[in-house]
Amino acid sequence: MLVILLIPILVFLARAVAWLSSSSHFRTVSHRDKISNTYIMEAGLNHALTLLREDSEWNEGFDHQGLSRVKGSYSIHFQKSGEPYVPGNSVNNISGFEAVDGPRGPKTVMPLTIELVVHAENGGSESSGVFVMEALLKNLSEIAIGSAGNIVMNGNVNITGVQDVLNWAPVNAGIHSNKTGAGTDPVIAWKPKRAGDTATFSGKVSTTATGSNAIQFAGTKDTDFSASAFETGAARMPTPAPDIVTAVQQNRSAADPPVNNFGTTTLGAQDYHSQGNLELQGDLVLQNGVLYVEGDLVVNGSITGDGSIFVTGKTIFKGEAAVKANETGIALYSEGPIQLKGFNGREFVERLLSNPNDRATYNQAMATFKAEMHVASNKTPNAPQRAAAAKAQQALGTIKTLIGRELNRQLGRQGSAETANFIESQLAIYDSLVAFTAQHYPHRKEFRETTAQLNNQLDRLGTAYFQGLMVSNTYIHAESSVGVVGAMYATGNNADVIDEIDGETVKSGDIFLGDNCEMVFNKELLDEPEAKSNEVERFLLRAWVR
């Protein structure tokens, strides 16, 4: 009887043991699969990050990518640009300029980040994780001019560098071409246009190309041309490579720019979009605004201020612009070529002062002016500073007298009255600047802006200037006597363009500098987000959501 009573209890206990065993096994298997999927997701993440370090634009993804000696696979599918976000897709916004939709909602994927959705499969078990990664991009080092193709320079060329346009502390400023190969034609070339022309670089001249002709400069080293070093077979240098077309298309809803032709077009701190070509007769000033042009941009004047410009076509501008210490400058991105055109004031004066003695007097007065202006901007206030400014004014008076006398004598035979008036008005403006600044702002800090402006403009008398960063996905062509305070890069990403300009063949990736071009490399620009390259140095994990 007791045995009969115990049978149900024993059955119940047996079933309980079986259930506990099954449940424990299930939990063990479930935990094992969860851990396994975590490792699979991490394998997929590391694989993707490896490819992204090689190419920050990578978005091919994986579909059931298997693992060696390990059961399971991982998948990553990327969102297509310009389409509504599809849940489960990864989003690469490393090269973006604004937040976009992603796994965590609208406008959650910030620029310089990538959100990777990794799907792991392990038998019948599946799981997904969202990894939010910040990309730390490589800096551009001390490269004032960077190209994917040839760098061609003619006549007088001077490349120097400063830490920023406020203190003008000198830094190295080099040029580099990423063009590869070992052909017989030069990749970086310079040749003088007249006796006495020189090419000077405060940094290194380098190229990834090899061969004895990769860098070809005419004349004698350290006499006709000089640099801190010349290097062939150098490592590839990172350069900015923004997706300009996408940036413009994503901002089609922005306001139309308020154009003031034959005057100054001023754009405030907001976004503007121009549908089609934009041509301005006059100056363009940005006050922390962003201008998107879906077409060509032509400015028959100067481009100044602080802000950014994105152009899907070509960009052409000419005109005069003061170098301002309180402005970093414009970040100009052009899918097509960038062409800088300027009035050749130096050539005008050289031809005007045909007498060798006059030219020697002019050059000495110019050297004195620059030296005294430098002293005036670095001495304590009052007597020493004003004495130096007075000497600078005296030298400027010598220059004005020489040019004025020759203009009066030769007017009608060389140059038009309009050009003569322009030259004389420029000199009068500079004279007034020195006098007013020395009298009313005798302190070193306030005087620097005048010094920077005059020392970069006076000996050129009306040259086109650009202050900021220039990036073209095609090529950059600067005519004679163009000055840049900033940096310039030609990526060559728009690879099918070949133009003939004044007998010169210019291709995508090339940079051409005409006679009497000058650049003051502003290293401060490298701290700007726009100046970063698209090459990833490392990634930082900012969030992991499962």
Distance CA 456, CA 146 (A): 22
As a whole number of angstroms, the distance between CA 23 and CA 248 comes to 58
Please state, in angstroms and rounded to a whole number, the distance separating the CA atoms of residues 124 and 93. 33
Total-model pTM: 0.65
Q: Which residue has the tokens 């960063």?
A: 469
499, burial (CB in 10 Å: exposed 0-12, middle 13-18, buried 19+) = middle
By the 8 A CB rule, do 327 and 343 touch? no
* Angstrom distances, CA of residue 468 to CA of 111, 308, 510: 22, 10, 19
Q: 68 is written with which tokens? A: 């060696």
Element (H, E) at 410: helix 383-410
Confidence (pLDDT) at 300: 73
Beta-strand pair 91-93/113-122:
antiparallel
Strands 204-207 and 157-162, bridge-based pairing: unpaired
Token code pair at residue 464: 């086109």
Q: Give me the pLDDT at residue 414, please.
A: 43
Q: What's the confidence (pLDDT) of residue 446?
A: 61
**What was the pLDDT predicted at 405?**
83
* 50 backbone dihedrals φ, ψ, rounded to 5°: -60, -45
For residues 352 and 409, what is the distance between their CA atoms, to the nearest angstrom? 10
How long, in residues, is the chain?
Answer: 546
Distance (Å, whole) CA 355 – CA 219: 27
Task: Name the β-bridge partners of 83.
Answer: none
Burial of 69 (0-12, 13-18, 19+ CB in 10 A): exposed
Q: Are 95 and 77 in contact (CB under 8 A)?
A: no
Residues 519 and 476: beta-carbon distance below 8 Å? no
- Cβ–Cβ < 8 Å for 399, 427: yes
| The pair of three-digit structure tokens given for residue 195, joined into one six-digit string | 């006796």
Helix, strand, coil tally for the chain in percent (to 5): 30, 35, 35
The DSSP bridge pattern shows strands 70-76 and 62-67 to be antiparallel
Residue 469 in contact with residue 324, Cβ under 8 Å?
no
Q: What angle do CA 423, 463, 378 make, to 5 degrees?
A: 90
The per-residue pLDDT string of the chain (546 residues; one tens digit each, 9 = 90 and over) reads: 555 656 666 555 556 555 545 555 445 545 566 778 788 888 899 999 999 988 888 899 999 888 877 788 899 999 988 789 999 999 998 877 678 899 999 999 988 899 999 998 887 778 888 999 988 877 667 888 999 999 999 888 989 888 887 767 888 999 999 998 877 889 999 999 888 889 999 999 999 999 889 999 999 999 999 999 999 998 888 777 778 998 899 899 999 999 887 677 889 999 999 999 998 877 788 999 999 999 999 887 778 888 999 999 999 887 555 555 567 788 899 999 998 876 556 666 777 788 889 989 988 988 888 888 777 777 666 677 778 888 888 888 888 888 888 877 766 544 444 456 656 766 776 777 777 666 665 555 666 666 666 665 665 565 566 788 889 999 999 876 677 888 899 998 887 788 887 777 889 999 998 877 788 888 887 766 555 666 787 898 888 876
Place of tokens 């002709």: 213
> Is the distance from CB of 244 to CB of 310 less than 8 angstroms?
yes
Q: How is the chain split into domains, by residue range?
A: 2-137
Q: Pick from 332, 289, 329, 300: which is nearest to 313 by CA?
A: 332
392/273 Cα distance (integer angstroms): 45
Using the structure block, give the residue that is written with the tokens 């206990």: 13
| CA-based nearest residue to 173, from 518, 466, 470 | 518
